[in-house]
Amino acid sequence: MASLKAALSKPFAKYVARKINKWSSKPLETQQKVFRNLISTAEHTVFGKDHNFKNITSFEEFQANVPIRDYEELKPYVERVVAGEEDILWKGKPIYFAKTSGTTSGAKYIPITKESMPTHIEAARNAILLYIHETGNAKFVDGKMIFLQGSPILKEKHGIKLGRLSGIVAHFVPKYLQKNRLPSLETNCIEDWETKVDAIVEETIHEDMSIISGIPPWVQMYFEKLIEKSSKSVGDLFQNFNLFIFGGVNYEPYRAKFENLIGRKVDSIELYPASEGFFAFQDKQDEKGMLLQLDSGIFYEFVEAEHFFDKNPKRITIADVKLSVNYVMIISSTAGLWAYNVGDTVAFTSLKPYRLIVSGRIKHFISAFGEHVIGKEVEQALKEATKNTLISVNEFTVAPQISPEEGLPYHEWLIEFENEPENEAELIEALEQSLQQQNSYYLDLITGKVLRPLKITRIKKDGFQSYMKSIGKLGGQNKIPRLSNDRKIADSLHELHLTK
């Protein structure tokens, strides 16, 4: 018999679904309202005065006054916020800084304000409620839930608390979920990832887990440790586990492996959270793509990825996006980020309502020879090449080999197999076929004898974990890039003797 909590969740889920349908069915009006609110609220900030906000009445005027910036270019303003100044990017001071590791700038401090914080919490909650509304399944709210996340211990800088986003969000778990939530605060505060996962296994192995959430490669590590300790599949161990919530990386390369570890299929919900905002979540089980959060204090712009590095790339709103085109997503938000390049590339799968997938990172691509290969393409190639085979892959990354000792340059695929291919040549041929079909630039380079077909380098078991550990990025929100335009990761894997 369902508990009161499970019974009450259904009418609440219906109410939330109706509310979401209201704004998602009026997308342009919703975004226009968000835009006007952002400009008027920030008019008297330092950034607003510097960029003529008081005279901005249209998107075109905003474009003319506010250039696209990444963190490096916004940094002079952020540094003033970090130093404790008020009314710089947004009114007053932020209530948190989400601290992330930057590529060129060391630590990045992303402001989270009184206005932006609730949108992170509501989107995660709404994703679960829409699942309840669609499936009618609410039993899991009575079971135990685990969210594999960063430490909730926060530091302070000029009176503003800072930490990883997942650690900040941990402080906002609703009271009605607290007693169901694992791991304990003490375990959650363990900094070393391997020690933490071991402690989580101890705490959860005899519990009735119904929801498990986290970034797939780190949940995989948790599952493998559970199986090692119990000698049971995850599904046998947690018989009521029927919902996996994930974000951060594409789940498809992990799906077959997860179903093997669990021993059966479970429903999943994909989320698109980032320190800069909670952008989208999967709202339908049978739809590919996540519902873009148009009513969360974020105004979206898009630039075609192919033209992003042009001198003056064209910026468009949701009104002009097309299906299946790779766009760089640009946001302005109640956190005080303005025409900010998040760094992700997205592609729309639906325009009524607006749903998208994350197709890669604008900096995570291979174009050493002008091929413009992106994350979505290598993931799709691997999925197609291993379909209907016994091959399974734990982790992989791709890098260009520009100056091989002999022969033409090529793409090196560094793959950690769970089940290795019996015929590597067949796998290479299937990967090549898929990549050449998806990417005409790559096809031209192969046929024009500028590149030779890809090569596979096999990585030892847990090799990628060892690499992440060696650079101090094991666990949490850290993940291996699917591809790089340089050989930094590839060379490290070779130098650490992690290749077979």
Residue 203 scores a pLDDT above 90: yes
For 18-66, write each residue's pLDDT tens digit.
Answer: 999 999 999 999 999 999 999 999 999 999 999 999 999 999 999 999 9
- Whether 447 has a pLDDT exceeding 90, the answer reads no
| pLDDT (average), residues 442-462 | 90
Which of 321, 341, 362 lies at the terminal end of a domain, its last residue? 362
Residue 317 counted as domain residue:
yes
Q: Name the nearest CA neighbour of 200 among 179, 180, 185.
A: 185
pLDDT of residue 104: 42
| Secondary structure letter of residue 164 according to DSSP | -
245 CB neighbour count, 10 Å cutoff: 22
Contact 78, 100 (CB under 8 A): no
Q: Please tell me the distance from the alpha carbon of residue 481 to that of residue 117, in angstroms, as a whole number.
A: 28
pLDDT of the residue at 4: 65
Round to whole Å and give the CA distance between 140 and 2.
10
Nearest CA-CA partner of 256 in 157, 377, 378, 388: 388
CB 477 within 8 A of CB 215: yes
| Domain match, 338 and 414 both | no
Specify the pLDDT at position 89: 98
167 φ, ψ to 5°? Answer: -70, -35
For residue 389, count CB atoms less than 10 angstroms from its CB and return exposed for 0-12, middle for 13-18, buried for 19 or more.
middle
Asked if the structure places residue 196 within a domain, the reply is: yes
Q: Domain check: are 342 and 370 in the same one?
A: no
Residue at a domain's end among 362, 397, 426: 362
CA distance 351 to 321: 8
Sign of torsion, CA 459 465 466 472?
A: positive
- What's the pLDDT at 106? 60
Mean pLDDT of 431-439: 92
Name 213's bridge partners.
147, 245
Mean of the per-residue pLDDT values for the chain?
A: 90
Please, are residues 453 and 432 in contact by the beta-carbon 8 Å criterion? yes
Closest to 350 measured CA to CA, from 322, 376, 315, 330: 322
Residues 141 and 236 in one domain: yes
Q: Judge if 354 and 456 occupy the same domain.
A: no
Give the tens place of pLDDT for each residue, 83-123: 999 999 999 999 999 987 644 446 789 999 999 999 999 99
Q: 288 and 405: one domain?
A: no
* Position 430, amino acid: A
DSSP 294: T
Distance, CA of 328 to CA of 358 (rounded, Å):
10
Q: Tokens standing for 24?
A: 């998602």
CATH code of the domain containing 407: 3.30.300
Domain, as residue range, for 308: 1-362
* Residue tagged 């007053």 (tokens): 92
Total domains in the chain come to: 2
* Mean local confidence (pLDDT), 380-387: 93
CATH assignment of the domain containing 348: 3.40.50.980
In a domain, 500, yes or no: no
The pLDDT of residue 335 is 97
Handedness of CA 55, 58, 60, 63 (dihedral sign): positive
DSSP annotation of 140 reads G
Per-residue pLDDT band at 143 (split at 50, 70, 90): confident
Report helix angle 216-230 to 252-262, nearest 10: 20
Count of other CB atoms within 10 angstroms of residue 139: 15
Is the same domain home to 17 and 84?
yes
Exposure string over 154-170, b if 16+ CB within 10 A, otherwise e: beeeeebbbbbbbbbbb
Question: What's the rounded Cα separation, in Å, for the pair 301 and 107?
Answer: 26
Looking at the structure, tell me whether residues 153 and 198 fall in a common domain: yes
- How does pLDDT run across 220-269, given as a tens digit for each residue? 889 999 999 999 999 999 999 999 999 877 777 778 889 999 999 999 99
331 and 413 in a single domain? The answer is no
Contacts of 40 (CB under 8 A, 6+ apart): none
Q: Is the dihedral of CA 397, 378, 310, 446 positive or negative?
A: positive
Q: Which of 337, 362, 387 is the last residue of a domain?
A: 362
CA distance 180 to 210: 10
Closest alpha carbon to 98 in 146, 42, 148, 154: 154
pTM above 0.95, yes or no: no
Taking the CA atoms of residue 484, residue 487, residue 493 and residue 497 in that order, the dihedral angle to the nearest 10 degrees is 160
pLDDT of residue 103: 42
Same domain, 67 and 146: yes
Q: Is 487 a member of any domain?
A: yes
Q: Verify that 425 and 329 share a domain, yes or no.
A: no
Looking at the structure, tell me whether residues 421 and 349 fall in a common domain: no
